[in-house]
Structure 1
Amino acid sequence: MERDTKGSAAPLLESSPSGTASRLQTLGNIIVSIVGTGWVYWDCLCFRIAGWLAGSLGVAIVGMTTYYCMLLLVSFVQREKLAADGSSLEANTYGDLGYKSFGTFGRYLSEFLILVAQSGGSVAYLVFIGQNFQSIFQTHSLAFTSYIFLLVPVEIGLSWIGSLSALAPFSIFADICNVLAMGIVVKNDIQQAIRGEFSFEQRTAITSNLGGLPFAGGMAVFCFEGFGMTLALENSMQDRAKFPRLLAQTFGGITLAYILFGFFGYMAYGDETRDIVTLNLPRNWSSLAVQVGLCLGLVFTFPIMLHPINEIVEGRLKRIKWFYRPFHGDNNDSTTRLGKVGIYVSRAVVVVVLAIFASCVPAFGVFASFVGSTVCALISFVLPATFHLKLFGSSLHLWQKALDSIVMFCGLFFAVYGTYNTIVGV
């Protein structure tokens, strides 16, 4: 890992210096980075709270805004690498962007928010998998926490895979599981809607409870998780010039899938739509197939969620003298055996800590709501727009400044509302 006088760190992916992931591999990694537990927990509930029209528009707006902010991060990287100001720091990570914008405080704030967001998403994965395994294997007397800790060895082994291109086969498998599960859910929704003989008049287009719209918006933000993976995904791609176009195509497809999924779910069950969409399904082979498929998909997606956490943790460890010297030895371009052991141990510790947290965190729904509405809004909207205005404000057109300002203030609104909602809810 390279170091400079400003304390910057290059990405920890093996593929960072020269991306090796193909277009298909990057596509798989983008999908599993964005599509996680959000659509299972919040998508249909968002439509129930906001109404089918407001929900559709809200998901579309959040999707386009998230894509715009992801594009800002990629443009930061491209412009920094082309800069001729003699700076030795390239904006390869979210923390680098924070440092370039606001110094050490910006780096610490960015990395702290990434840690909280990715840890929250990882905990959500473990909780969902544990709950569903407990539901599937009801005849066994294993507790919910037992299923979580049974996953620990598997997730530790997957976390030791060092590059996104190597994780791509697992990502593609997870994508297939998610698509099949979503297809089965939509099929059941359509059948339920046909049997129920619903009409659009029986479903709310726009809720009369305007206070619920910000909460629904926060749910939609949580559905587009994985923002912290943007730079790692761009760095891992072999042909980085094609990344923005691929990201646009992928985001368009995911946003459309979210809208259709939430629409059909709400049309099928109306006000009876449950918080977790699988709870609305009948107890038969198809619902079990959905649960198994989703659990398998999340098992193989989990190491993708861990990557930003490992990147930050290992970056901090390698700045400590006692860790840095054994890791690099006398040759800064090679990794010693002791250094590799240190990385393996740190990644194993991260998995164990998250498993412990997932098994004992109280009021998980409140915790997930806080992470989605508050931290995700800051990472996805506030920081990218703020960095853009800070670094390139003097060269931006008026409409660009206005757009960044709108995104920033809307993100702040969601963050403040999410914090307020969490405090009041508790």
Structure 2
Amino acid sequence: MAKEATEVPLLQNSTAGTSSWAQTFGNIIVAIVGTGVLGLPYAFRVAGWLAGAIGVTIAGISTYYCMLLLVHCRDRLASTSSSSADECDEIHTYGDLGCKAFGRTGRYLTEFLIVLSQFGGSVAYLLFIGQNLSSIFRTHHLSFSSFIFLLVPIEIALSWIRSLSALAPFSIIADICNILAMAIVVKQDLQLFDGFSERKMITSLAQLPFAGGVAVFCFEGFGMTLALEASMRERKRFPWVLAMAFSGITLVYVLFGFFGYLAYGDQTKDIVTLNLPNDWSATAVKIGLCLGLTFTFPIMMHPINEIVEGKLKQSEWFLKLCQYNSGRGRGVTEKFMVYVSRALVVLVAVVLALAVPGFGEFVSMVGSTLCALLSFVLPATFHLIFCGSSMRLWQRALDYCILICGLAFAAFGTYNAANGHSRGS
């Protein structure tokens, strides 16, 4: 999922244009790698190990290319920008590109999709935490729903922290726990590996979009593209750094999904850590992951809060309320309403987490629809609008191919994920 509007975790004290290629490389890893990777072995089980590997590879290459399209669009607009005071002239975020392409409607559409995709990532966090904690404490008669409800006051309190820099280290801790979890899973894989006899290469071509949806979800951080590129001291090297990062991440994703499916076969669960035995090492990693995600949940929610609060402060009723309570101080009223809105956003995410059927199906649906629109459809559309007149025929054809395939993938992937009961649990 995108983490637009969040600070770059490894560069908290850096200003734009001062980061080395190594810092940017590390930051790309932090921005992209998330909990979705732990659902890849299940995607390989559903689609088959060859189909899963193809789906992850296609998703990685396509996401990399479309990230470069955003940078190209921003550079083209910067070279032709005017000195007018139009609200769409400043291009810093994904929403700014939407505004430049389609006016306010484009900004609202882009920000709406970002909000929904961030909700998807936040709900996935809650699902992961609830399912892993219930697997650890299964003897205490606490259900998945119980752990989700226990998280509510914690997440509301954390969402009231205004400084992201206080929470950013936990994002790195969560990624470290992700790596440890992957290492333990691979170790377990090697111990359980009994050959390819019962492992299918392709279960069905119809299941390829499911694996692709999970894979697209795994490539989080798309909304950070412009911020990552702008943070580099040598911005011309960004495509090279991004290519290195994506090559490594895609390879790790393919190997992890492959080995996870080989180890557990048809018993592979939608969160592969649930397949691990309840020994001390696996339990420690699960708890570390849950703690890390608990504290990074407000970071995932931050873009939502920024957009909601921005619209809230522009609304007529909010301005009238602040004016009515001006005797108590506008700042107090405004702060109170911000706290209320953040609490309501957390509650919406909790309700959604309790309503979704399962981690695997949910992740694939979010990846196939919202993430596909943000990662493929909109970048290709913006590129055609801003750069179409100067592109070669093959470049326009490629953009149209990405646009059409992205829309088809979103439609078919949504249908496939909605019928997840056919795959079994």
**TM over 0.5, yes or no?**
yes
State how 1:35-50 maps to structure 2 within 5 Å.
Answer: 35-41=33-39, 43-50=40-47
Structure 1 residues 52, 419: closer, same or farther in 2, change over 3 A?
Answer: closer
- Superposed CA offset, 1:96-146 (max 9, x none): 222211223322222222121110110111121012112212343434233
Match of 2:327 in 1: none
Give the whole-Å Cα distance in 2 for the aligned partners of 1:274 and 1:420. 21
Match of 1:133 in 2: 133
Q: 1:362 Cα deviation (Å)?
A: 5.4
After superposing the two structures, state which structure 1 stretch, 124-133 or 297-306, moved more. Answer: 297-306
2:200 pairs, out of 192, 201, 204, with 204
Counterpart check, 1:56 vs 2:25: no
Give the whole-Å Cα distance in 2 for the aligned partners of 1:157 and 1:284. 32
After superposing the two structures, state which structure 1 stretch, 183-192 or 162-171, moved more. Answer: 162-171
Structure 1 residues 407, 321: closer, same or farther in 2, change over 3 A?
Answer: same
Report the 3-state secondary structure (helix = DSSP H, G, I; strand = E; otherwise coil) of the residue aligned with 1:318.
helix
**Residues 27 and 246 of structure 1 are in contact (CA less than 8 Å); yes or no, is this contact kept in structure 2?**
yes
1:185 is matched by which residue type in structure 2?
A: V
Structure 1 residues 218, 362: closer, same or farther in 2, change over 3 A?
Answer: closer
Give the whole-Å Cα distance in 2 for the aligned partners of 1:402 and 1:280. 44
**Residues 26 and 168 of structure 1 are in contact (CA less than 8 Å); yes or no, is this contact kept in structure 2?**
no
**Residues 63 and 376 of structure 2 are in contact (CA less than 8 Å); yes or no, is this contact kept in structure 1?**
yes
After superposing the two structures, state which structure 1 stretch, 96-105 or 386-395, moved more. Answer: 96-105
Give the whole-Å Cα distance in 2 for the aligned partners of 1:203 and 1:117. 33
**Residues 95 and 110 of structure 1 are in contact (CA less than 8 Å); yes or no, is this contact kept in structure 2?**
yes
Normalized against structure 2, the TM-score is what?
0.82
**Residues 270 and 359 of structure 2 are in contact (CA less than 8 Å); yes or no, is this contact kept in structure 1?**
no
Match of 2:299 in 1: 304
Normalized against structure 1, the TM-score is what?
0.82
State how 1:256-271 maps to structure 2 within 5 Å.
Answer: 256-271=251-266
Counterpart check, 1:68 vs 2:34: no
Match of 1:3 in 2: none
**Residues 44 and 265 of structure 1 are in contact (CA less than 8 Å); yes or no, is this contact kept in structure 2?**
yes
After superposing the two structures, state which structure 1 stretch, 242-251 or 398-407, moved more. Answer: 242-251
Give the whole-Å Cα distance in 1 for the aligned partners of 2:234 and 2:156. 30
Report the 3-state secondary structure (helix = DSSP H, G, I; strand = E; otherwise coil) of the residue aligned with 2:398.
helix
Q: 1:313 Cα deviation (Å)?
A: 1.1
Give the whole-Å Cα distance in 2 for the aligned partners of 1:37 and 1:375. 17
Counterpart check, 1:150 vs 2:150: yes
Structure 1 residues 54, 265: closer, same or farther in 2, change over 3 A?
Answer: same
Counterpart check, 1:77 vs 2:69: no
1:415 pairs, out of 398, 404, 410, with 410
- Superposed CA offset, 1:218-270 (max 9, x none): 222222234234345556x3748265544333322221211110111122233
Give the whole-Å Cα distance in 2 for the aligned partners of 1:316 and 1:185. 44
Structure 1 residues 253, 84: closer, same or farther in 2, change over 3 A?
Answer: same
Give the whole-Å Cα distance in 2 for the aligned partners of 1:12 and 1:177. 21
**Residues 218 and 372 of structure 1 are in contact (CA less than 8 Å); yes or no, is this contact kept in structure 2?**
yes
Give the whole-Å Cα distance in 2 for the aligned partners of 1:375 and 1:418. 11
Q: 1:279 Cα deviation (Å)?
A: 2.8
Q: 1:93 Cα deviation (Å)?
A: 2.4
Report the 3-state secondary structure (helix = DSSP H, G, I; strand = E; otherwise coil) of the residue aligned with 1:283.
coil
Give the whole-Å Cα distance in 1 for the aligned partners of 2:163 and 2:175. 18
Structure 1 residues 310, 154: closer, same or farther in 2, change over 3 A?
Answer: same
Match of 1:219 in 2: 214
Match of 2:386 in 1: 391
**Residues 212 and 364 of structure 2 are in contact (CA less than 8 Å); yes or no, is this contact kept in structure 1?**
no
1:352 pairs, out of 329, 333, 347, with 347
1:287 is matched by which residue type in structure 2?
A: A
Structure 1 residues 180, 364: closer, same or farther in 2, change over 3 A?
Answer: closer
Match of 2:366 in 1: 371
**Residues 44 and 266 of structure 1 are in contact (CA less than 8 Å); yes or no, is this contact kept in structure 2?**
yes
Match of 1:182 in 2: 182
**Residues 171 and 293 of structure 2 are in contact (CA less than 8 Å); yes or no, is this contact kept in structure 1?**
no
**Residues 80 and 90 of structure 1 are in contact (CA less than 8 Å); yes or no, is this contact kept in structure 2?**
no
Report the 3-state secondary structure (helix = DSSP H, G, I; strand = E; otherwise coil) of the residue aligned with 1:211.
helix
Match of 1:4 in 2: none
Q: 1:63 Cα deviation (Å)?
A: 0.8
Q: 1:361 Cα deviation (Å)?
A: 4.3
Report the 3-state secondary structure (helix = DSSP H, G, I; strand = E; otherwise coil) of the residue aligned with 1:230.
helix
Match of 2:326 in 1: none
Structure 1 residues 67, 16: closer, same or farther in 2, change over 3 A?
Answer: farther
Report the 3-state secondary structure (helix = DSSP H, G, I; strand = E; otherwise coil) of the residue aligned with 1:90.
coil
Give the whole-Å Cα distance in 2 for the aligned partners of 1:77 and 1:403. 19
Match of 1:6 in 2: none
Give the whole-Å Cα distance in 2 for the aligned partners of 1:244 and 1:321. 44
- Superposed CA offset, 1:162-205 (max 9, x none): 56655432222122111111111111111111xx2x1x465333
**Residues 376 and 403 of structure 2 are in contact (CA less than 8 Å); yes or no, is this contact kept in structure 1?**
yes
The runs of 5 or more residues in structure 1 that have no matched partner are: 1-9, 329-334
1:49 is matched by which residue type in structure 2?
A: V
Give the whole-Å Cα distance in 1 for the aligned partners of 2:396 and 2:41. 34
Structure 1 residues 134, 271: closer, same or farther in 2, change over 3 A?
Answer: closer
- Aligned residue pairs total 404
Give the whole-Å Cα distance in 2 for the aligned partners of 1:208 and 1:358. 29
**Residues 213 and 363 of structure 2 are in contact (CA less than 8 Å); yes or no, is this contact kept in structure 1?**
no
